[in-house]
Amino acid sequence: MTRPRILIVGGGFAGVECARRLERKLGPGEAQVTLATPFGYQLYLPLLPQVASGVLTPQSVAVSLRRGLRGTRIIPGGCVGVDPVAKVAVLRKITDELVNEPYDHLVLAPGSVTRTFDIPGLTEHAQGMKTLAEAAYLRDHVISQLDLAAATTDERERRSRLQFVVVGGGYAGTETAACLQRITAAAAERYPRLDPRDIKWHIVDIAPKLMPELGDRLGTDAMHVLQRRGIEVSLGVSVAKVEAEQVTLTDGRVLPCRTLVWTAGVAASPLIGTLGAETVKGRLVVTDRMTVPRFDGVFALGDAAAVPDLAKGDGAVCPPTAQHAQRQGKAVADNVLASLRGKPLEPYVHKDLGLVVDLGGRDAVSKPLGVQLTGVPAQAVARGYHLMALRTNVAKVRTLTNWLLNATAGDDYVRTGFQSRRPARLRDFEYTDTYLTPDQVRAHTESLHARH
């Protein structure tokens, strides 16, 4: 008899946690676990702004899958379609080869991609903050702007290179702007030809508040920190048009600018849209046990799924956070085990533990378990939390060492130049056009239907 096949799609917070728990809890020979994921690491996204600002090296937040998962078969590639009748996932390996991967239990955890809107010039010029490559690219790009601004004699060019716009006043955008502003503000020492007062950072958000999930007091505190550091915050405003050398805001202002970082929300992985299943705001509808209605043996979780938030009640769904994704990963593993063993599945319940927001240096705001903190205590909680949440000891030590080194030695402003002449569109980094239509999936799995 062949062992039941459990296929996990996505090696992020949710997928890796699920695989780890299955490895720990499965009996010998009870099932075979496979993980399909394009990269050899689990990306610790909450620290990505610190990679963009050079405080951490990319390796610090790329937690090795091979170190943590010993009993899982890892397929380097992504799932581009699912045939729920034949119970087959179609995978595109990193070589671009399409292969069929049969499953008995499928765990869908492909996360999310940057959400964009139909704004002229956005997809051509905006840069995202969702992948390791984007963070590394953005760091190089920002340093390039300092290098080029310091070298030019053209005032117009200098102004546009030294103005940076971040769209999105959630924690991702706020942390990105705050951490990057810190390195550009400290650049004067390495760039004596630049006047630090000419370097401008701007956060733009259509919402009336910054990071509303922090509550009024901490949101205001964060705003004061940003303003003290000279970061302009425009609320109730969005972007009307993006061009290579300027950005037009919806209130009519035209900002000379060659860097637009787009962090205005996330959308479920495009894989979800190809399934023909019910979605809510793009996320896959699932039960409180994280099963997908009408899809036998399929579970979904994390940013890609609208998991009911039973702790909040009132029909709420869990927000797309690492905190929920990780815990859902564990809960799904338990439910997969329960269905293997013919036991009842359990609902997912988790009460939010709060939020930590690192604004760089000693600046931070955080709300652990409802306690409102700012400054050094908030920063201690934020960094302690990240160290705890990083999954391997090597990753913890690497991160801690990077923090100490950066705090004592500062930044070297080294630009690698890697891919600097290549386009840097969201599509290039997030592979959003790699998926198959249901008909293409069916054509690919046709031979399997014949056998059924």
Q: List CB contacts of 156: < 8 A, sequence separation 6 or more.
A: 256
- Of residues 61 through 80, those in contact with ligand FAD by CB under 6 A are 78-79
**Pair 287, 299: CB distance under 8 Å:** no
Task: Determine phi and psi for 73, rounding to 5 degrees.
Answer: -85, 125
Q: Is 36 in the site for ligand FAD (CB under 6 A)?
A: yes
Residue of the chain from 38, 84, 219, 308 that contacts ligand FAD (CB under 6 A): 38
Which residues are 112's β-sheet partners?
A: 268
Q: Is 269 in the site for ligand FAD (CB under 6 A)?
A: yes
Give CA–CA dist 128/115, Å, rounded: 10
Give CA–CA dist 36/196, Å, rounded: 46
Indicate the residue among 14 and 199 with the shorter CB distance to ligand FAD: 14
Q: Is 11 in the site for ligand FAD (CB under 6 A)?
A: yes
Q: What is the DSSP letter of 332?
A: H
Secondary structure of residue 37 in the 3-state scheme: strand
Q: Is 165 in the site for ligand FAD (CB under 6 A)?
A: no
Stretch that binds ligand FAD, among 137-145, 238-246, 315-323, 396-404 (CB under 6 A): 315-323
Q: What is the DSSP letter of 200?
A: E
Q: List CB contacts of 129: < 8 A, sequence separation 6 or more.
A: 48, 49, 52, 114, 135, 138, 172, 173, 176, 261, 262, 263
**In the bound complex, what is the minimum distance in angstroms from residue 189's beta carbon to ligand FAD?**
28
Task: Determine phi and psi for 373, rounding to 5 degrees.
Answer: -130, 150
Distance in Å from the first CA to the final CA of the chain: 18
**In the bound complex, what is the minimum distance in angstroms from residue 171's beta carbon to ligand FAD?**
5
Residues in contact with ligand FAD, shown as a per-residue x/- string from 323 to 352 under the rule CB under 6 A: x-x---------------------------
Secondary structure of residue 122 in the 3-state scheme: helix
User: Which tokens hold the place of 361?
Assistant: 């240096």
Stretch that binds ligand FAD, among 229-237, 321-329, 396-404, 420-428 (CB under 6 A): 321-329
Indicate the residue among 9 and 306 with the shorter CB distance to ligand FAD: 9
Indicate the residue among 14 and 298 with the shorter CB distance to ligand FAD: 14
Q: How far is CA 221 from the centre of its chain?
A: 25
Strands 88-93 and 73-83 turn out to be antiparallel
Indicate the residue among 221 and 303 with the shorter CB distance to ligand FAD: 303
Stretch that binds ligand FAD, among 13-21, 182-190, 249-257, 369-377 (CB under 6 A): 13-21
Q: Is 286 in the site for ligand FAD (CB under 6 A)?
A: no
Indicate the residue among 111 and 360 with the shorter CB distance to ligand FAD: 111
Task: Determine phi and psi for 333, rounding to 5 degrees.
Answer: -60, -45
**In the bound complex, what is the minimum distance in angstroms from residue 306's beta carbon to ligand FAD?**
12
**In the bound complex, what is the minimum distance in angstroms from residue 14's beta carbon to ligand FAD?**
3
Residue of the chain from 7, 22, 33, 45 that contacts ligand FAD (CB under 6 A): 45
Residues in contact with ligand FAD by CB under 6 A are: 9-15, 36-39, 43, 45-46, 48-49, 78-79, 109-111, 129-130, 171-172, 269, 271, 302-304, 320-323, 325
